[in-house]
Amino acid sequence: MNALSSWLPAASEDAMTDSLRQHFSSLMLPPAAQEWLLMLWQVIQTFDDYADGDSVDRARLDATIWNTLVALPQNPFYAQHAGALSAALSTAILKWQASDTVERAKQPSPKSFLWRAGYYDIVLLVVQLVHGPAAAMSVAHKVLDVYDESLDEYMKEFGNA
């Protein structure tokens, strides 16, 4: 990653980030697309932790501010595909807010579980933008299977299992 364009603190380099990095590489995504997706992952995880009242250390907060306001919009892959990616981001945000609404009302469901996975919709769009619709169709199941939380885990998180 270009140290001047993105900022992923060491703390964000966890097993999931490593798994995503390997997955994006196996999908033969260009470096700028991989970098954008990894920054987006970091930003989403930080915002989600903050919304849940979890601790967010200063380095991670600083990275999130930088990535959100500077690095994500300046990323060359994003710049080339801003129209499509912006629309997908807005949908993912709305889906996350919908799941958060029902979760906070103590009414999570298998549907709200699916709403949380909007990030993987964006990954699938990136694959389509890079490789075309036919290639995206052929690997869509592999892209979406990377979502590693199970419905049982989700329901247990809210005491509904």
Tens-place pLDDT, residues 66-111: 999 999 999 999 999 999 999 999 999 999 999 999 999 999 999 9
- Determine, yes or no, domain membership for 51: yes
pLDDT at 3 over 80: no
- Determine, yes or no, domain membership for 101: yes
- Determine, yes or no, domain membership for 22: yes
Given pLDDT bands bounded at 50, 70 and 90, which one contains residue 1? very low
**Confidence at residue 5, expressed as pLDDT on a 0 to 100 scale:** 47
**Confidence at residue 21, expressed as pLDDT on a 0 to 100 scale:** 94
Q: pLDDT tens digit string along 97-108?
A: 999 999 999 999
pLDDT at 39 over 60: yes
SS3 category, 155: helix
Q: What is the domain count for the chain?
A: 1
**Confidence at residue 160, expressed as pLDDT on a 0 to 100 scale:** 60
Torsion, Cα of 101, 105, 109, 114 (10° steps): 20
Most confident of 1-5, 14-18, 104-108: 104-108
- Determine, yes or no, domain membership for 1: no
Domain encompassing residue 28: 14-157
- Determine, yes or no, domain membership for 3: no
More confident residue, 160 or 92: 92
pLDDT at 31 over 50: yes
**Confidence at residue 34, expressed as pLDDT on a 0 to 100 scale:** 97
- Determine, yes or no, domain membership for 2: no
Question: How many whole angstroms separate alpha carbon 39 and alpha carbon 10?
Answer: 13
Question: How many whole angstroms separate alpha carbon 49 and alpha carbon 137?
Answer: 32
Whole-number average pLDDT of the chain: 89
**Confidence at residue 154, expressed as pLDDT on a 0 to 100 scale:** 86
- Determine, yes or no, domain membership for 53: yes
